Amino acid sequence: MLDAVWLIPALPLAGFLILLVAGKRLGEPAAGWLATLMCAGSFVASVVVFVGLLGENEESRQFTQTLFEWVPAGGLRVDVGFLADPLSITMALFVTGVSALIHLYAIGYMHGDADFSKFFVYMNLFVFSMLMLVLGSNLLVTFLGWEGVGACSYWLVSFWFSSEANATAGKKAFITNRIGDWGFLLAMFLAFATVGTLNYEGLFANVPTIAPVTATAIGLLLFLGAVGKSAQIPLYIWLPDAMAGPTPVSALIHAATMVTAGVFLMTRVNPILGAGYDWVPDVIAWVGVITAFVAATIAVAQNDIKKVLAYSTVSQLGYMFLAVGVGAYVAAIFHMIAHAFFKALLFLGAGSVIHGMDGEQDMRRMGGLRTFMPLTAATFMVGWLAIAGVPPFAGFWSKDDILLFAWGSGAAGGKALWAIGLVTALLTGYYMSRQVFMVFFGEPRWRAEPAPRPASVGAAANELDVESDEHAHGGPHESPWIMTAPLVVLSVLTIVGGVINLPFNEDVDFLEDFLHPVLGVNEAEIAVSTGAKAALAVIAVGAGLVGLAAATAVYLHRRVRAVEPEVLARAWYYDEEVTAFVGGPGRKSFDAIAWFDAHVIDGAVNGVAAVVRNVGGRLRPVQSGFVRSYALGVTIGVVVVLGYFITRVSF
C-alpha cells in the first residue's frame, strides 16, 4: 500500500499534462471535472498510503520510494524520491482533500471564463508542486516543489493579467518569494558542504556531527525561505496583494498549498533547528507572534472582503510559527490543518459572496446578505466562529494548544509570547466579527449605490458578462450547488476537525501520537496542570468573545463609533515604505549593479573579444586571395617539416 505514494503527485501531474495538451478541446466543464477528479484521486491515494502507514509499527512508519537518480554529479547524488512518513502524509491528506474541494468549487466560480481550461492547468500544476514539496525525500525535491508553487502562484495571481494591477500582484508575489528562495538555496549549499547529502534521512542521521553554528546558519536560512513562502514579517507584503487572483486561487494559496509550506519546512527540519543555538527557536517564535499581532491590527481596518481574510491568514501563520518556535510542532501542524479547513471555507464563502454580488468586493457596499444567500452565510459563520476560537470548532482546539505551549514553554519571554498571542486572539475575534456583520447583517448597502466596481480589483471581471445574462437585474443571489457543496463539506470539517487532537488525555491526541516518530525529542514537553490548562482555555475563549462582543457593539448595534485609523487601513505604511525604498535607493543600487555588470563583467568578456579581433585584423593581409601563393606557402611548409624530420629526427 505504501508503494502507492508516487501516485499522490503523479495524478495531478497527469491532470496537468492532459489539460495542457487537450484542455481547450475538453472545454468547459469537462476540463474542470478532470482536474477535480485528479485531485480527488490523489486524495484517495493519500488515504491508501495513510492506512498503510497506520498498519506499520510506530518505529517503522517511514517509507522512502526512489523513482530515479536525478542529479549524479560527483559527490552530489540527488534522487527523485518520496518520503512517506506521518508528517508528509498528514500534509498530503489535507492538501489533496482541500484542493479537491477547491477545484470542485472553481468549476462553478470560473463558469464562463474565456480561459476556463487554462485555469485548471495551473491549478493542477499547483497541487502537484505542493505535493512534491511535501513528499520530497530530500531538500532539492522539496525545493523543486517550492519553486513550483512560487511559479504557479505567479501565473494564478495574475491570471486575469489584462489588468495591470493583477499582473503587478503576480510579479510581487514571485519576486518577494525569491528573497526567501535565496535563503533556501544557501541553506542547501551549506547543508551539502557540511554533511555531503541533501537527503532528509542522511541529514538527520548526521545532525550530531553538525557544529551548532552551522546548524544555526542552516536553520536560519531555511527560516528565511519559510518567512518568504509563509508571508511572515518582513516578507508578508505579497500575500495581501495576491488577492488579485480568482478567489479559488486565494483559497488554494491560503489554505492548502503555498503558505503552509514554510511551516511544514520548519517542522520537517526540526532536528536541525534543535541542533542550533538556543535562541534560534526564540527568533522564530518572536517573528511569528509579532507577525500575528501586526497582521491582526491591519485586518481590523480593511474594507475589501478578501483583504481581511488575507491579513487574517498572515496572522494565523504567525501563530503557527509561534508554535514552531516554542517547540509545539504538533500544535503548528494541528493549527495548519484546522486553518486549512476554516480558511478554505472562509475564502470560498467570500468567493460565493463576490459571485453573488457580481464582482463586488467592498464590504461597505454589502450588508444584510444572509437572507439572500443563506447557505453561504451559515457556512461562513461556521468559519468565523472557528477562527475566533469559539469551542467546539476546530480553530479553538488548535489555537488553544499553541497558546498553552507558549505559556508553558521556556522560550525567552514565554509569558509575553502568550500575552501577545492572546491579544491577537481578541483582535481576531473582533475583525472577523466585523467582517461577518458588515457582509451578512445590518442594512443592505448595495441598493443605495449602483455599485461602481473598484477599478483595481479585477476579480470576477470576466464572469460578470455571463452572470449579467442569467441575472439580468443583478442583485445578490445564492451560488449554484457546485459552489455551495464544498462550503458545506468544509464547514462540517471545521466543526469536527478538532477531534484529531483533543487535549483531554493521552488517548485522544491522535495527531500527536501519529506525528511522534517524526518529531521525537524536539517536541516540547510542558508541565501545566489540568486546572491551569482549563483556565488558560477559558481566558483564550474569553479574549475571542470579548473581540466578538466589541465588534457586535460597533458594527451590529452601532452603539460605538468604528475605529479604523488610517495607519491600520494602510497596513502601517509598511508596504508603501518598501515600495518607496525599492523604487528610490533600492533602484539606484540596482542601477549601480547593472552598471557594474555592463561595464566590468561584460567589459572583461568584450575585452577578450576585442583583443582577438585586433590580432586577427593584423593577420588579415596574409589572406591575399591568390591561390598560388597559398600553395607556395603549403609547399614551403612541407619542405621545412620534411627537412626537419630528415635532418634532425633519427629513425
Minimum distance of another protein from residue 631's CB (angstroms): 5
Please state, in angstroms and as integers, the Cα–Cα distance from residue 73 to each residue in 138, 202, 204, 243, 572, following that order: 16, 17, 22, 41, 48
In the numeric block, the cell 470576477 is attached to: 460
Residue from 76, 632, 640, 641 touching another protein (CB under 8 A): that is: 632
Closer CB to another protein, 605 or 622, in the complex: 622
Q: How far apart are CA 356 and CA 372, in angstroms?
A: 9
Closer CB to another protein, 75 or 625, in the complex: 625
Minimum distance of another protein from residue 619's CB (angstroms): 8
CA 94 to centroid of chain Cα atoms? 14
Closer CB to another protein, 594 or 639, in the complex: 639
Residue from 175, 598, 612, 631 touching another protein (CB under 8 A): that is: 631
Minimum distance of another protein from residue 622's CB (angstroms): 7
Q: How far apart are CA 491 and CA 495, in angstroms?
A: 6
- Closest by CA to 485, choosing from 369, 360, 341, 379, is 379
Integer distance in angstroms from the first to the last C-alpha of the chain?
Answer: 75
Minimum distance of another protein from residue 614's CB (angstroms): 14
In the structure grid, which three cell numbers stand for residue 630, read together? 597559398
Please give the helix or strand (H or E) that residue 67 lies within, else none. strand 63-73
Interface with another protein by CB under 8 A: which range of 139-147, 329-337, 447-455, 623-631? 623-631
Closer CB to another protein, 596 or 630, in the complex: 630
Minimum distance of another protein from residue 618's CB (angstroms): 11
CB neighbours of 391 closer than 8 A, spacing ≥ 6? Answer: 397, 541
Closer CB to another protein, 603 or 633, in the complex: 633
Q: x/- site string to another protein, residues 602 to 621, per CB under 8 A?
A: -----------------xxx
Closer CB to another protein, 472 or 622, in the complex: 622
- Closest by CA to 354, choosing from 273, 501, 249, is 249
Q: Does 623 bind another protein (CB under 8 A)?
A: yes
Q: How far apart are CA 415 and CA 403, in angstroms?
A: 10
Minimum distance of another protein from residue 643's CB (angstroms): 15
Residue from 473, 559, 628, 648 touching another protein (CB under 8 A): that is: 628
Per the CB < 8 A criterion, the answer to whether 166 and 458 are in contact is yes
Closer CB to another protein, 559 or 628, in the complex: 628
Q: How far apart are CA 433 and CA 544, in angstroms?
A: 10
- Closest by CA to 262, choosing from 191, 177, 193, is 177
Closer CB to another protein, 55 or 637, in the complex: 637
Minimum distance of another protein from residue 621's CB (angstroms): 7
Q: Does 642 bind another protein (CB under 8 A)?
A: no
Q: Does 25 bind another protein (CB under 8 A)?
A: no
Interface with another protein by CB under 8 A: which range of 25-33, 62-70, 576-584, 622-630? 622-630
Q: x/- site string to another protein, residues 258 to 297, per CB under 8 A?
A: ----------------------------------------
Amino acid (1-letter code) at residue 306: K
Q: How far apart are CA 464 and CA 113, in angstroms?
A: 9
Q: Count residues binding another protein (CB under 8 A).
A: 13
Closer CB to another protein, 74 or 616, in the complex: 616
- On the CB side of 264, CA atoms within 13 Å amount to 32
Minimum distance of another protein from residue 591's CB (angstroms): 42
In the structure grid, which three cell numbers stand for residue 254, read together? 491560503
User: 335's torsion region: left (phi>0), alpha (psi -120 to 50) or beta?
Assistant: alpha
Per the CB < 8 A criterion, the answer to whether 414 and 535 are in contact is no
User: 28's torsion region: left (phi>0), alpha (psi -120 to 50) or beta?
Assistant: beta
Interface with another protein by CB under 8 A: which range of 204-212, 307-315, 477-485, 624-632? 624-632
Q: How far apart are CA 292 and CA 504, in angstroms?
A: 27
- Closest by CA to 248, choosing from 92, 429, 94, 127, is 127
Minimum distance of another protein from residue 650's CB (angstroms): 20
Closer CB to another protein, 628 or 648, in the complex: 628
Q: Does 646 bind another protein (CB under 8 A)?
A: no
Judged by the rule CB under 8 A, the positions of this chain that interact with another protein are 619-628, 631-632, 635
